[in-house]
Each structure stands twice: as structure tokens, then as C-alpha cells.
Amino acid sequence: MERRSIRPRSARIAAGLAAVSWLGITAGTAFGQTTTESEPADDTQQIVVTGTYLGGVRQEDRASPVLTVDAEALDRTGVSSLGDLTRFIPQNVGSAGGMQDLAKGGADTRDTRSVNLRGLGAGSTLVLLNGRRVTPQGGDDFVNLNALTPDIAIGRVETVLDGASSTYGADAVAGVFNVITNTRFEGVKLSAQYTGIDKSSSWNVQGMIGLGNDTIRSVTSASYRFVDNLQNSDRAITNFFNPSGAGFPGRYTLLARPTNASGGNLVIGGNDYTALYDARAVNGRLTVVDPNCGAAGTESQYIPATGATFGLGNCAYNFQPKNPIRPRSQSINIHNDTTIEVADNQEVFVELAYYHQESKRFGVPSYAQNAGNATMPAANPYNVFRVPVIFLGRAIGAQGFPGGYDYRVMRDTVDNQHYVLGARGDLFAGWKYTANVSYSGSHTIARDKDTDMNLFQAALNGFGGPNCNYLFNGAGGGAVAGAGNCLYYSPLQGNLQQMDPTLIHNLQTDVYFDFKREYYLAEAVVNGTLATIGGHNLDVAIGGQYRRENSTAQYSDLLLSGFGGFLGKRLNTSFRRNVKSGFIEANYEVIDGLNVNAAARYEDYGGFNTTAPKLAINWRIIPEISVRGSASRAFQAPTISNGSNSLISTGVGNVTDPTKSPPDTTFRTIQTFGNPGLQPQTADVYNIGATVLPVPRARLSVDYWSYKYKNQIQLQSAQAVVNASPNGPAVIRDSSGNIQAVQVTSFNAPSGTQTSGIDFAAAYSFDMGELEIGLRSNLTYLLKYDIDIGSTTPGAASIVYNGVGFRNQFVQSPLSSSAAPRWRAVSGIDFGYGRHSLSTTWRYTSGVVDDQGLSLNTSGTGSIIPATATSKIKAFSVFDVQYSVKLGQDDKYELAVGMINAFDTAPGFARFNGYLPSIADPFGRQIYARIQAKF
């Protein structure tokens, strides 16, 4: 594997968000009544309150629970990307991206991370940058947190923890994650952090400059981030035998009776293949494993058929060591906020953001070959069977290929852009306006390799090599099998070292995927006091938004042709959708301390429309006690492609074929088709909570929350499709009966996920002389996580099971379901003494039952959860520590050192992945050092 850093392309490359952390954990976090501890704004600065368009409303008077994390808290954890912030939010579970999770249907090839509040799916949490929508990253169905802005630019992050569709529209079902940049910074700030991990490392260099006067103010920030790759072979927990039924060495289907050169029985390695054929052939065919199956260095294991002698069965291939835990990446992130006062109380604002990433994923040397069969003719001089044989396996195995080809390197480039132009100011009688237009675009090009089955077959026939005159329709002039520039290829393990390195031309062909996502938005909001009733103002906000969504996908010729061995046939697509919406919000203080807030938003998608209402009450009974409650209807529209009637994506997933003996498990092509009949999914969202200030500098908060989906959009499980009808029209097989592809689609479940729980947070700070001490804790307890798997019989009721405490990767579990640990908590203690600070943090996630690959009981009698679901993935409990000191005149410099997972705790073992990415990580102890300077 190449270990050198990726060649930089200065103006274009990579970089990162970085060192973000937060901990639910500042004194005021997670209570629905939070304040930040960043620099106070002057009177002209716009105050952004996430979850409302009203002006002059304090966050503490809002009923929606909100987590607020300022820049100081972000620095405290020492993590190196904004995406890693999700590991410190107990209410977040099941974030996707950046970490390999093949059990959920595909590996990650680039540095990405989603937010997934309440485990309701990445698409159910709306991500905003300064209160405005950002397009999902091209090739992904979620906004990449790592691409939003350099973390040095972040003023605070606000997370609304209940439905916000009445304010922001679609996707804000579970809540809102709003990243707010520091637009008032003046001076220069520099930061550099190095994070060391065993066998991997990362570093992040950032800078920010703020200039301005009373008329114009501009803040520009930039970062460069590098993250090295980490392979499964680098960690004991992920370096285990994880078999695929399609491997190298592979299997061979003999199409005729094998004999030796003199016509006698063919004996290889002491095994009589002629006698085996005579005894076991069916319809003139017999499938046997490679004679060298299980040989040293091949990462293979012979699995005999029941009662069979050598040769019958499968040659399982261990793909695990050659696959990554995370890819290597480098990225550049640039962000600018500029505000110009054009008249008294009238200003124009501009926001510009650019992100570029290049990544490399080091994976297994070649994929399995699912698309059709390749035949090794008897004339191939390497064919030890001396009869035509169909090859079943993959072109290259764990030993790589002569010439130094050890890994299949996937290369991705990502370019994101975000531009905003707007104006805001006073209208009349205290009314204000904000209007803006924005563009948000993401372009991802993913480069991979697959086996062109035409070129592969040509090499088996003796027409291999880049200089052989072989045309798409056969041999060209002067081409002779196995002569001159034309070479024979053999997939037999025993011939590997005899292969000419140039035959890689026939085994691996470059392919690409080109994805684009775009938002064009125009929106305007006015707010002010509509009336004064009983001495209290009735504040109102009214607005509208127009949004155009574009999504395109284009593929290379091999992918379009369907001749690729593994990746399957693709289809170029282009989708467009226009969304028009209007919204209104009102807030009235009925009596002193009792605020009632009502909001509603209407959205029209052309083919369907929906209205999302919300009613919320916050009552500060006495200064030390307040109670709150809210009820809302949230909604999420089908993605722009999901609502189409075409093939929208092709991926891979591990699928077991139950018709084989023994059952054949390998990665198969999974084709996802759109469903034009999809309707928006809705959710009834409730929250009831209270906050108590028992003594000065102490705060306690508790919230009960509940989400109940209706018509939830779920994606079929490929394995469930195969199990339900192994030979049905959605299971595509070749002439030998092997699965080539499985077709799946999304559907509206009659009900959907129903989940509820309790959030608790506490903070207390006090002084002991010059020593400042702060205690903090934020936890969530899951009461219910009911999962609707649909109906197994037409016309029958849906089957629902309680997934609390489970991994929720049963065969029938929809891919939208998440692991559901009962407890998640983040607690800590902070010390401050003059220029010195010390923080310790404990992060805990309870264990879950490992149900991966198990089948639910859908018979209608007995327990739905099978008795075999007993294996447990242990809890993940880690401690982080950081020490920092400020140095120099006016504390211009700050040095911080720390450890994430200080005791090097390993995650619990989970089937298939080795660990469960949604609740733990395999990095082990991370040691970091960061230096900052302000001028």
C-alpha cells in the first residue's frame, strides 16, 4: 500500500473542519434555555435564534429544547472535525459516513459525516449554515458536516431537539443542526493541531482574519486538514476472518468429464477429479474449488459441502484485512462573511464558502464477479482441468497481482460551493425584514475499478494484454491467441506468479461516478409586533421560500453497459423539483413569564403538498423554575430521486443465497429503483420538560420527547427480498443459478418508527479560592424504538417490534433503522486556575444485542424477537482529558494537549464489521497537541 501523502494541488485540495468538540456540556447546554459564552455582540449585530424567525425572542423564552455549543466548548474535546462532534451528542445515534459500514450496504470512500438525531435517519435532521439550507453532498443523501466551514470560524452550534418543520420545512423531523459562524471577529487567529493514532494520524492547520469598521466588516477563514487511512488489519477487533463466497482462489464449474493427457483419471494434489465428476456431476456439470484453496497467504478457507470429500463446497475468501476502517483524505475549506451597512439600519450581507476534498480508499484488490460467467477454455495452457470450466470468483485476491498491485485504490474528489447574497434592516414601526438568494452545490467524482467481463474473457481465451489487437467484437488483424503481444490469463491460484503484470489491463478497468446536487433558493421574512394586548406584544413573523433542487448522476461507459463484473448496470439520471412554501409564526406572552408560540408552514412540491403546524408553551413560574411543552406535525418529502420511476442507484451489499448448499454469502449488486407513488412521511412530535435553578450557578433540566411516524419512507432490505422470494423477479440470476443482482425500492410503511425517551442535563460551577470548578452531565434514556418492517403477507397488518437495546440489523429491519442503545451519556468536570485549564470527560453508550443477519419471527405466533438473539455488543465507555495553558502578553497564545479515549478502550465485537460504528470507534487512544495564537 502506498503510504506517502497525497500530492497536493495547492489551490484545490482538501481540508477540513476541525477540532470541534462540544460535550453537551457547557453550563447551559441542552436545557432549551441556553446561552453562549462567546464574545458579547454589539447593538448592531443580528442575534440568530435557531428554531424561530421572530425577532427579539430570547432562547430562554422558547419551548423547544436546544443544545448550544460555543467555540470554547468545541475546542475542549480536541476532536479534529465537526463531524466528530456528533460523538459527543447523546441524542445523536447512527451517524453515517467516513467509517466503513458494509453491513449497512456499502463502504465509505471519502471523509464525510452526517448528523442523525434520535436515530431517525440522516435525512430526518435538517442541517443549516447560518440558518440557511445546504445541499446534501453529491453521491450522499446527507449534508457533510466536515464540509460546512472551518471549525475556527464557528461561533456556536445550536441543535433543536424537536420537530421544526413548521419553521424550516421538510427534513426537520428530528430537529435542526445549525452551525453559526463568528461574523464579528477582529484581528488574526491561527491554529494548528496534530492528532496521533496508532497506525494513523491527522493534522489540521487553520487561520482566520477579521477586518472592518463601522460600515463594512469581513471575516475570512481557511483550513487544511489531512487524515491518514486506517485498515482493518491495523486493529485486532477488525482483523478477523470475514468470508465471502466469491473469492480468489475461486470455484470452477466443469462443463465436461476431466481426464489426464493419456485419457485416464485426472488427479491433482492427490484428489481424483474424474471419479468425483462421475459420482457427483448433475446435467454434465460439477462445481469444484480451486485445488489451492486454503493455501498460505491466500486468506481463503475450504468449506466442504455436507459429507463431501475435497473439491465440493466453497472456497471462502477473507476480504476483511484488505478493507479500510477509514480512507485517507485531505481537504481545503474556505469561508467568508461580509456585511456592508448601506444606510442607517440597512445592510447587505454576503456569504461565500468553498470546500475541496481528495480521498483514497485502499480496498480488496478486486471485486467479486457477479455479472455473467467467464469460461476458461480447455485450450488455455494453464487450465489444469483440461476441459472448459466456468470461473466463479474474483480476478485478484489477497496476494495481489504481479507488478505491485496490492490494493484497489478508489479515488474521490469533492467540490462544494455555497453562496449567499442578502439584505436586512428596518421597515417601519419596529418591523424588520431579511431577504436573500443563495446557491448551494456539491459535485463528487468517484473513481473506482471493476472487471470488464469482455476483456476478462478475452484474456482467458489468450487475447490478453494492452498491446493485443483485440476489438470489442473479437480478435483483430494479426491477433493470435497466446502469441506475440497476446497473452493467456489464468485465475488458478497456482499460476498467479507466472502471470505477466501487463494482464492487469484485462482484470481492472477504470470507472467513474459523477454526482451533482444543487439548491437554488430565494426567501424573505418580515417580523415585528402586530399588536399589544394587555401590555404584552403579539410578535409575528411571515415569510416565503422558493427552492429548486437539481440532482444528476452520470457514469462511465463500462457502468452504463452493464459488462462490469460487480458494480452492475447504471443509468444516467437527471432530476429537478421546485418547492414553494409559505410560513407564519406568532409569539405572545399571555401573562408575565408565560409564552405561547404557534407556527405553521405550507409546502407545495407540485405532485403533493403538506402543512406542518406547531404549538409550544413555555412558562417561567418563578425565576428558578420553568416548564415547557410542544406539539407539532413534522414532515419529510421523498428525495428528488426516490420519487422517480427509474433506476436511481446501484450499490453492493452482502447477501446470502438460501438456495445454495451450503448457503452462499457474498457481495451482490443491489439496484435501487424509485417509486413515483411515494408520499411524504409525517411524524407527530411531542416534548414536555422543565428547568430548575436550585442554587446560584446550578441548573437541572429534564425533557420527555416522543416521535411517532406515519407513512414512513423505508428502503427494502436486499436480504429480505431474497428470503421472501429467492427466485422472484427482483432476484436476478445467471444461467447457472447464481445471484447477479437484487432489486429494491422504497415504500411507505403503514406506520413507521415510534420512539420516545427522556433527556436529562445538569450543570453546576463553583469556586474554591482561585480555583474554578465546573460539573456537567448530559444523558438520554431511550424508552421506546418501535420499528415497522411492513407486512409479509398482502393485506395483512404491519409487523412492529421494539428495537430498544438491539443493533436492529435483522434480515427484515429496514436500512433506515438504527442501533438503539438504552443509555447514552456525556459527563465531565472542568478546572480553571488562572491561565490553566483541565477538563475530563466521560462518554458512555450502553451495549446492544447483536442481531445482524438474524431473522425475525413473522409467523404471527410467539415472540417476534428470535430466541437466538442473545449475543451482546458490550457498552462503550471512554474517558477524555485535556490540559491547556494561555501564554504571552494578553494571553495571545494557547497550548492544549490531551487524549481522546485516554485508557485505550477497545470497542465491543460486532458481527461482520468487527465493531458497531454507530455506537463506538476502533481508533483507540488519540493523543493530540494544539497551539493557537491571536493577534
Region 5-32: what's the mean pLDDT?
Answer: 33
Over the chain, what is the mean pLDDT? 90
- pTM recorded for the entire structure: 0.90
Report pLDDT for 716. Answer: 83
In three-state secondary structure terms, 640 is coil
Q: Where are the domains of the chain?
A: 243-318+365-406+452-507
pLDDT tens for residues 634-659?
Answer: 988 888 888 888 888 887 777 889 89
Q: What are phi and psi of 136, to 5 degrees?
A: -60, 150
Q: How far apart are CA 446 and CA 466, in angstroms?
A: 24
Q: Phi then psi for 223, rounded to 5 degrees?
A: -145, 150
Burial 773-809 (b: 16+ CB within 10 A, else e): ebbbbbbbbbebbbbbbbebeeeeeebbbbbbbbbbb
pLDDT band at 102 (very low <50, low <70, confident <90, very high): low
pLDDT score of 10: 35
pLDDT average, residue stretch 216-224: 98
Pairing of strands 836-845, 823-833: antiparallel
Asked whether 846 and 821 are in contact (CB, 8 A), the reply is: yes
For the segment 823-850, what is each residue's pLDDT rounded down to a tens digit? 999 999 999 999 999 999 999 999 999 9
Q: What separation, in Å, do the N-terminal and C-terminal C-alpha atoms of the chain show?
A: 43
pLDDT at 717 over 90: no
| Cβ-contact 507, 391 below 8 angstroms | no
Average pLDDT over residues 208-229: 97
**Of 29-43, 121-135, 453-467, 674-688, where does mean pLDDT reach its minimum?**
29-43
The order of strands in the sheet holding 300-304 is: 243-244, 313-318, 300-304
Asked if the model's pLDDT at residue 23 lies above 70, the reply is no
Buried b (16+ CB within 10 A) or exposed e, 280-295: beeeeebbbbbbbbbb
CB atoms inside a 10 Å sphere around CB 159: 29
Given a cut of 80, whether residue 35 has pLDDT beyond it is no
Please tell me the distance from the alpha carbon of residue 866 to that of residue 364, in angstroms, as a whole number.
34
Instruction: Please report which confidence band the pLDDT of residue 3 belongs to, taking 50, 70 and 90 as the band edges.
Output: very low
Please list, in sequence order, all residues whose beta carbon lies within 8 angstroms of the beta carbon of residue 863, skipping any fewer than 6 positions away.
Answer: 857
Greatest Cα pair distance in the chain: 109
- With a cut of 50, say whether residue 687 has pLDDT above it: yes
Contact 163, 177 (CB under 8 A): no
pLDDT digits (tens, 9 = 90+) for 408-446: 999 999 999 999 999 999 999 999 999 999 999 999 999
pLDDT value of position 46? 53
Instruction: With CA atoms as reference, report the closest residue to 852 among 654, 660, 562.
Output: 654
- Please say whether the beta carbons of 719 and 667 come within 8 A: no
The CA-CA-CA angle for residues 226, 356, 934, to 5°, reads: 60
Per-residue pLDDT tens for 549-565? 999 999 999 999 989 99
Spatial distance between the Cα atoms of 898 and 882, rounded to a whole number of angstroms: 4
Least Cα distance to 918 among 115, 162, 38, 275 occurs for 115
Give how far Cα 655 sits from Cα of 171, 381, 624, 855, 909, Å.
31, 35, 57, 13, 21
Measuring CA to CA, how many Å separate 24 from each of 692, 763, 779? Answer: 17, 10, 9
User: Which one has a higher pLDDT value, 100 or 468?
Assistant: 468
Catalogue the E-assigned strands of 290-407: 300-304, 313-318, 324-326, 328-343, 346-363, 374-376, 389-392
Write out the three cell numbers for 598.
Answer: 404557534
Nearest-5° angle of CA 95, CA 98, CA 102? Answer: 80
Say what percent of the chain tops pLDDT 90. 74
DSSP 16-70: -------TT-STTTTSSS----SPPP-TTSPPP-TT---SS--GGG-SS-EEEEE
* Residue ranges in 429-548 assigned as alpha helix (H): 453-460, 504-507
SS3 of 73, please? helix
